[in-house]
Chain A
Amino acid sequence: MPVMKCPACANCLDAPAPVCPTCEFTLRQLDTKFGTVPLHSRHLTDRARSLTLDEVKRLQKLLQRFEEKFPQSVFSVFVTDLPTGTNIREYTFWLANRARFGSIDAVGGENFALLLVIEAATRSAALTVGYGLEKFVLEDDLSVALTAAAPALRSGELERGIQLCVEEITRQLTDICKAAATIPKTEGAPTGGHW
Protein backbone atom coordinates (compact mmCIF):
# COMPACT_ATOMS: atom_id res chain seq x y z
CA MET A 1 0.00 0.00 0.00
CA PRO A 2 1.47 3.40 -0.92
CA VAL A 3 2.26 5.94 1.73
CA MET A 4 -0.68 8.35 1.98
CA LYS A 5 -0.22 11.91 3.08
CA CYS A 6 -2.59 14.75 3.65
CA PRO A 7 -2.27 17.36 0.92
CA ALA A 8 -2.70 20.09 3.49
CA CYS A 9 -0.60 19.10 6.47
CA ALA A 10 1.48 16.35 4.81
CA ASN A 11 0.97 14.03 7.75
CA CYS A 12 0.95 10.34 6.98
CA LEU A 13 -2.30 8.42 7.16
CA ASP A 14 -2.58 4.88 8.39
CA ALA A 15 -5.66 4.14 6.31
CA PRO A 16 -7.71 5.86 3.64
CA ALA A 17 -9.85 8.50 5.33
CA PRO A 18 -12.49 10.89 4.04
CA VAL A 19 -11.16 13.55 6.42
CA CYS A 20 -7.59 14.12 7.59
CA PRO A 21 -7.49 13.02 11.24
CA THR A 22 -4.88 15.68 12.00
CA CYS A 23 -6.16 18.83 10.28
CA GLU A 24 -9.64 17.73 9.24
CA PHE A 25 -8.85 18.58 5.67
CA THR A 26 -11.36 17.75 2.91
CA LEU A 27 -11.75 18.58 -0.75
CA ARG A 28 -14.84 20.64 -0.02
CA GLN A 29 -12.80 23.09 2.01
CA LEU A 30 -10.70 23.72 -1.07
CA ASP A 31 -13.78 24.42 -3.17
CA THR A 32 -14.50 27.32 -0.91
CA LYS A 33 -10.87 28.39 -0.92
CA PHE A 34 -10.18 28.29 -4.66
CA GLY A 35 -13.61 28.92 -6.09
CA THR A 36 -14.30 28.24 -9.76
CA VAL A 37 -12.14 25.86 -11.69
CA PRO A 38 -9.97 27.85 -14.10
CA LEU A 39 -10.14 27.26 -17.83
CA HIS A 40 -7.87 24.46 -18.83
CA SER A 41 -7.08 22.17 -21.74
CA ARG A 42 -6.42 18.48 -21.84
CA HIS A 43 -2.63 18.52 -22.15
CA LEU A 44 -1.16 21.94 -21.52
CA THR A 45 -2.55 25.06 -19.91
CA ASP A 46 -0.41 28.14 -19.56
CA ARG A 47 -2.33 30.56 -17.38
CA ALA A 48 0.83 32.49 -16.56
CA ARG A 49 1.74 32.98 -20.24
CA SER A 50 5.25 31.80 -19.56
CA LEU A 51 5.60 29.74 -22.73
CA THR A 52 5.90 30.86 -26.33
CA LEU A 53 3.56 29.53 -28.96
CA ASP A 54 6.23 27.23 -30.38
CA GLU A 55 7.02 25.88 -26.93
CA VAL A 56 3.35 25.19 -26.34
CA LYS A 57 3.08 23.33 -29.64
CA ARG A 58 6.14 21.22 -28.94
CA LEU A 59 4.99 20.35 -25.45
CA GLN A 60 1.49 19.50 -26.62
CA LYS A 61 2.99 17.15 -29.16
CA LEU A 62 5.11 15.52 -26.45
CA LEU A 63 2.09 15.06 -24.19
CA GLN A 64 0.06 13.63 -27.05
CA ARG A 65 2.80 11.10 -27.67
CA PHE A 66 2.69 10.17 -24.01
CA GLU A 67 -1.03 9.54 -24.31
CA GLU A 68 -0.51 7.44 -27.44
CA LYS A 69 1.92 5.30 -25.52
CA PHE A 70 -0.34 4.99 -22.48
CA PRO A 71 -3.87 5.27 -23.89
CA GLN A 72 -5.53 5.07 -20.48
CA SER A 73 -3.49 7.93 -19.13
CA VAL A 74 -3.41 11.68 -19.65
CA PHE A 75 -0.43 13.78 -18.67
CA SER A 76 -1.60 17.34 -18.07
CA VAL A 77 0.58 20.32 -17.34
CA PHE A 78 -0.84 23.40 -15.70
CA VAL A 79 1.31 26.52 -15.44
CA THR A 80 -0.17 29.27 -13.30
CA ASP A 81 0.50 32.14 -10.97
CA LEU A 82 -0.86 31.31 -7.55
CA PRO A 83 -1.68 33.94 -4.93
CA THR A 84 0.98 34.38 -2.30
CA GLY A 85 0.76 31.87 0.49
CA THR A 86 -1.14 29.30 -1.52
CA ASN A 87 -0.15 25.75 -0.76
CA ILE A 88 0.73 24.16 -4.10
CA ARG A 89 -0.07 20.71 -2.70
CA GLU A 90 -3.60 21.75 -1.86
CA TYR A 91 -4.06 23.47 -5.19
CA THR A 92 -2.76 20.47 -7.14
CA PHE A 93 -4.99 18.09 -5.21
CA TRP A 94 -8.00 20.32 -5.78
CA LEU A 95 -7.26 20.79 -9.48
CA ALA A 96 -6.67 17.06 -10.06
CA ASN A 97 -10.12 16.30 -8.67
CA ARG A 98 -12.15 19.23 -9.93
CA ALA A 99 -10.74 19.87 -13.40
CA ARG A 100 -11.64 17.69 -16.37
CA PHE A 101 -8.33 16.86 -17.97
CA GLY A 102 -9.32 13.35 -18.89
CA SER A 103 -12.49 11.34 -19.23
CA ILE A 104 -15.36 12.03 -16.84
CA ASP A 105 -15.62 8.30 -16.21
CA ALA A 106 -12.02 8.05 -15.08
CA VAL A 107 -12.61 7.98 -11.37
CA GLY A 108 -11.22 5.90 -8.54
CA GLY A 109 -8.98 3.06 -9.67
CA GLU A 110 -9.77 3.83 -13.30
CA ASN A 111 -7.99 7.16 -13.13
CA PHE A 112 -4.46 6.86 -14.52
CA ALA A 113 -3.95 10.59 -15.03
CA LEU A 114 -0.90 12.62 -14.13
CA LEU A 115 -0.96 16.31 -13.35
CA LEU A 116 2.05 18.59 -13.16
CA VAL A 117 1.33 22.02 -11.68
CA ILE A 118 4.01 24.66 -11.98
CA GLU A 119 3.88 27.95 -10.17
CA ALA A 120 5.47 30.29 -12.66
CA ALA A 121 6.59 33.01 -10.25
CA THR A 122 8.27 30.89 -7.59
CA ARG A 123 9.08 27.94 -9.92
CA SER A 124 7.69 25.48 -7.42
CA ALA A 125 6.02 22.41 -8.86
CA ALA A 126 3.87 19.48 -7.82
CA LEU A 127 3.31 16.21 -9.61
CA THR A 128 0.35 14.05 -8.69
CA VAL A 129 -1.23 10.89 -10.05
CA GLY A 130 -4.71 9.41 -10.11
CA TYR A 131 -5.76 6.52 -7.90
CA GLY A 132 -5.10 4.04 -10.70
CA LEU A 133 -1.38 4.78 -10.87
CA GLU A 134 -0.76 4.62 -7.13
CA LYS A 135 -0.20 0.87 -7.42
CA PHE A 136 2.64 1.33 -9.89
CA VAL A 137 4.34 4.60 -9.04
CA LEU A 138 5.93 5.48 -5.75
CA GLU A 139 6.23 8.96 -4.40
CA ASP A 140 9.97 8.58 -4.81
CA ASP A 141 9.46 7.96 -8.53
CA LEU A 142 7.49 11.18 -8.81
CA SER A 143 10.17 12.94 -6.84
CA VAL A 144 12.87 11.67 -9.20
CA ALA A 145 10.92 13.04 -12.17
CA LEU A 146 10.57 16.43 -10.53
CA THR A 147 14.21 16.48 -9.46
CA ALA A 148 15.19 15.87 -13.09
CA ALA A 149 13.20 18.93 -14.06
CA ALA A 150 14.24 21.13 -11.14
CA PRO A 151 17.45 22.66 -12.55
CA ALA A 152 15.75 23.65 -15.79
CA LEU A 153 12.73 25.05 -13.94
CA ARG A 154 14.94 27.08 -11.63
CA SER A 155 16.87 28.56 -14.53
CA GLY A 156 13.63 29.59 -16.19
CA GLU A 157 13.70 26.95 -18.93
CA LEU A 158 10.12 25.93 -18.43
CA GLU A 159 9.79 23.93 -21.62
CA ARG A 160 12.96 21.99 -20.92
CA GLY A 161 11.88 21.29 -17.36
CA ILE A 162 8.48 19.98 -18.41
CA GLN A 163 10.05 17.89 -21.14
CA LEU A 164 12.53 16.29 -18.73
CA CYS A 165 9.77 15.53 -16.25
CA VAL A 166 7.54 13.92 -18.89
CA GLU A 167 10.40 11.89 -20.32
CA GLU A 168 11.40 10.63 -16.89
CA ILE A 169 7.85 9.55 -16.07
CA THR A 170 7.53 7.91 -19.48
CA ARG A 171 10.72 5.97 -18.85
CA GLN A 172 9.53 4.86 -15.43
CA LEU A 173 6.11 3.76 -16.61
CA THR A 174 7.60 1.91 -19.59
CA ASP A 175 9.98 0.05 -17.28
CA ILE A 176 7.13 -0.79 -14.93
CA CYS A 177 4.99 -2.11 -17.77
CA LYS A 178 7.85 -4.13 -19.25
CA ALA A 179 8.73 -5.60 -15.86
CA ALA A 180 5.11 -6.52 -15.26
CA ALA A 181 5.00 -8.23 -18.65
CA THR A 182 7.76 -10.64 -17.63
CA ILE A 183 5.94 -11.85 -14.51
CA PRO A 184 4.24 -15.17 -15.15
CA LYS A 185 0.50 -15.23 -14.65
CA THR A 186 0.76 -17.77 -11.84
CA GLU A 187 2.60 -15.19 -9.77
CA GLY A 188 -0.26 -12.79 -9.96
CA ALA A 189 0.59 -10.87 -13.08
CA PRO A 190 -1.94 -8.28 -14.13
CA THR A 191 -4.42 -9.46 -16.71
CA GLY A 192 -6.27 -6.26 -17.42
CA GLY A 193 -4.35 -5.30 -20.53
CA HIS A 194 -1.80 -6.57 -23.03
CA TRP A 195 1.42 -6.03 -21.19
Chain B
Amino acid sequence: MQSRRHHPKNGGRADRRTLVKGKLILRLALMLLLLGVSAPRAFAQGGTPVFERVYVPPQPPTPARGRIPESEPIPQGWIIAGEAAVALISAAVLFAAARAWRSSNLFDRKYRFPSGEPTALRFGGTRSGGFMATIEPAKSKKDA
Protein backbone atom coordinates (compact mmCIF):
# COMPACT_ATOMS: atom_id res chain seq x y z
CA MET B 1 0.00 0.00 0.00
CA GLN B 2 1.33 3.39 -1.00
CA SER B 3 1.20 6.32 1.27
CA ARG B 4 -1.05 9.22 0.45
CA ARG B 5 1.91 11.41 0.12
CA HIS B 6 3.26 9.66 -2.78
CA HIS B 7 -0.06 9.08 -4.35
CA PRO B 8 0.12 10.21 -7.83
CA LYS B 9 -3.33 11.83 -7.72
CA ASN B 10 -3.07 13.92 -4.51
CA GLY B 11 0.69 14.39 -4.33
CA GLY B 12 0.63 18.12 -5.26
CA ARG B 13 -2.28 18.97 -2.97
CA ALA B 14 -0.54 17.57 0.08
CA ASP B 15 2.54 19.57 -0.57
CA ARG B 16 0.51 22.70 -0.79
CA ARG B 17 -1.22 21.93 2.53
CA THR B 18 2.04 21.37 4.20
CA LEU B 19 3.31 24.65 2.87
CA VAL B 20 0.24 26.49 4.19
CA LYS B 21 0.56 24.87 7.54
CA GLY B 22 4.19 25.82 7.72
CA LYS B 23 3.38 29.40 6.85
CA LEU B 24 0.74 29.48 9.57
CA ILE B 25 3.09 28.10 12.15
CA LEU B 26 5.72 30.56 11.10
CA ARG B 27 3.29 33.45 11.35
CA LEU B 28 2.10 32.31 14.77
CA ALA B 29 5.65 31.97 15.97
CA LEU B 30 6.45 35.41 14.62
CA MET B 31 3.41 36.87 16.31
CA LEU B 32 4.28 35.21 19.58
CA LEU B 33 7.80 36.43 19.26
CA LEU B 34 6.65 39.93 18.59
CA LEU B 35 4.19 39.79 21.45
CA GLY B 36 6.90 38.47 23.78
CA VAL B 37 9.28 41.24 22.88
CA SER B 38 6.75 43.97 23.18
CA ALA B 39 5.00 42.72 26.34
CA PRO B 40 7.23 44.42 28.97
CA ARG B 41 6.79 47.77 27.31
CA ALA B 42 3.09 47.39 27.45
CA PHE B 43 3.17 46.71 31.24
CA ALA B 44 5.50 49.61 32.02
CA GLN B 45 3.34 52.02 30.19
CA GLY B 46 0.21 50.81 31.83
CA GLY B 47 1.18 51.98 35.43
CA THR B 48 0.46 55.25 37.21
CA PRO B 49 2.59 58.01 35.84
CA VAL B 50 5.28 58.96 38.30
CA PHE B 51 5.51 62.60 37.46
CA GLU B 52 2.41 64.49 36.98
CA ARG B 53 2.34 67.96 35.76
CA VAL B 54 0.81 70.33 38.27
CA TYR B 55 -1.35 72.87 36.78
CA VAL B 56 -0.38 76.28 37.96
CA PRO B 57 -2.66 79.06 36.98
CA PRO B 58 -0.77 81.86 35.40
CA GLN B 59 0.20 84.61 37.81
CA PRO B 60 -1.30 87.96 37.23
CA PRO B 61 1.25 90.29 35.84
CA THR B 62 3.19 92.32 38.36
CA PRO B 63 2.10 95.88 38.29
CA ALA B 64 4.77 97.99 36.82
CA ARG B 65 6.66 99.94 39.44
CA GLY B 66 7.57 103.44 39.10
CA ARG B 67 11.20 104.34 38.95
CA ILE B 68 12.86 104.56 42.41
CA PRO B 69 13.70 108.13 43.09
CA GLU B 70 17.39 108.70 43.66
CA SER B 71 18.21 109.25 47.39
CA GLU B 72 19.82 112.48 48.36
CA PRO B 73 23.58 112.25 48.98
CA ILE B 74 24.73 112.20 52.64
CA PRO B 75 26.01 115.60 53.64
CA GLN B 76 29.78 115.74 53.84
CA GLY B 77 29.57 117.15 57.33
CA TRP B 78 27.81 114.03 58.50
CA ILE B 79 30.46 111.83 56.93
CA ILE B 80 33.23 113.78 58.63
CA ALA B 81 31.39 113.69 61.95
CA GLY B 82 30.90 109.94 61.63
CA GLU B 83 34.53 109.35 60.84
CA ALA B 84 35.56 111.58 63.71
CA ALA B 85 33.29 109.62 66.07
CA VAL B 86 34.72 106.33 64.88
CA ALA B 87 38.26 107.66 65.30
CA LEU B 88 37.42 108.92 68.78
CA ILE B 89 35.91 105.60 69.84
CA SER B 90 38.88 103.73 68.39
CA ALA B 91 41.27 105.99 70.27
CA ALA B 92 39.34 105.45 73.50
CA VAL B 93 39.38 101.68 73.03
CA LEU B 94 43.08 101.79 72.20
CA PHE B 95 43.79 103.90 75.26
CA ALA B 96 41.83 101.56 77.52
CA ALA B 97 43.57 98.53 76.04
CA ALA B 98 46.99 100.12 76.47
CA ARG B 99 46.18 100.98 80.05
CA ALA B 100 45.00 97.46 80.77
CA TRP B 101 48.11 96.11 79.11
CA ARG B 102 50.34 98.31 81.21
CA SER B 103 48.67 97.33 84.44
CA SER B 104 48.48 93.65 83.67
CA ASN B 105 52.10 92.99 84.63
CA LEU B 106 52.59 90.78 81.63
CA PHE B 107 56.23 91.53 81.09
CA ASP B 108 57.87 90.82 84.38
CA ARG B 109 56.67 93.98 85.96
CA LYS B 110 56.20 92.11 89.18
CA TYR B 111 59.17 91.91 91.43
CA ARG B 112 59.96 89.17 93.85
CA PHE B 113 62.44 89.07 96.65
CA PRO B 114 64.55 86.01 97.25
CA SER B 115 63.63 84.22 100.41
CA GLY B 116 64.57 81.23 102.43
CA GLU B 117 67.54 82.57 104.32
CA PRO B 118 67.24 82.00 108.06
CA THR B 119 66.99 85.14 110.13
CA ALA B 120 67.85 85.61 113.77
CA LEU B 121 64.85 87.02 115.59
CA ARG B 122 65.19 90.01 117.90
CA PHE B 123 63.35 90.98 121.08
CA GLY B 124 60.87 88.19 120.58
CA GLY B 125 59.43 89.66 117.40
CA THR B 126 58.68 87.01 114.78
CA ARG B 127 57.83 89.40 111.94
CA SER B 128 59.84 92.54 112.50
CA GLY B 129 63.01 93.18 114.45
CA GLY B 130 62.43 96.86 114.99
CA PHE B 131 64.28 97.96 111.87
CA MET B 132 62.72 101.38 111.33
CA ALA B 133 62.99 105.11 110.82
CA THR B 134 60.90 107.77 112.47
CA ILE B 135 60.10 111.44 112.10
CA GLU B 136 59.09 113.70 114.92
CA PRO B 137 56.67 116.57 114.54
CA ALA B 138 59.22 119.29 115.18
CA LYS B 139 62.11 117.75 113.27
CA SER B 140 62.29 115.60 110.18
CA LYS B 141 65.49 113.76 110.94
CA LYS B 142 65.84 110.08 111.46
CA ASP B 143 65.25 109.10 115.02
CA ALA B 144 67.90 106.47 115.14
Contact = CB atoms under 8 A, between A and B. Distances in A.
Interface residues of A, number: 75
Given A27-B123, A93-B123, A97-B125, A70 B111 contact: yes
Contacts of A112: 113, 115
Interface of B: 103, 105, 108-137, 140-144
B123 A134 contact: no
Interface in A112-149: 112-113, 115, 122-136, 139-140, 142-143, 145-147, 149
Given A128-B131, A130-B128, A146-B133, A193 B142 contact: no
Nearest to A113: B127
Contacts, number: 187
A73 interface: yes
B127 A26 contact: no
Would you call the interface of chain A mostly helix, strand, loop, or mixed? mixed
Contacts of A128: 128, 130-132
Given A125-B135, A143-B133, A110 B144 contact: no
B127 A131 contact: yes
Contacts of B122: 4, 13, 16-18
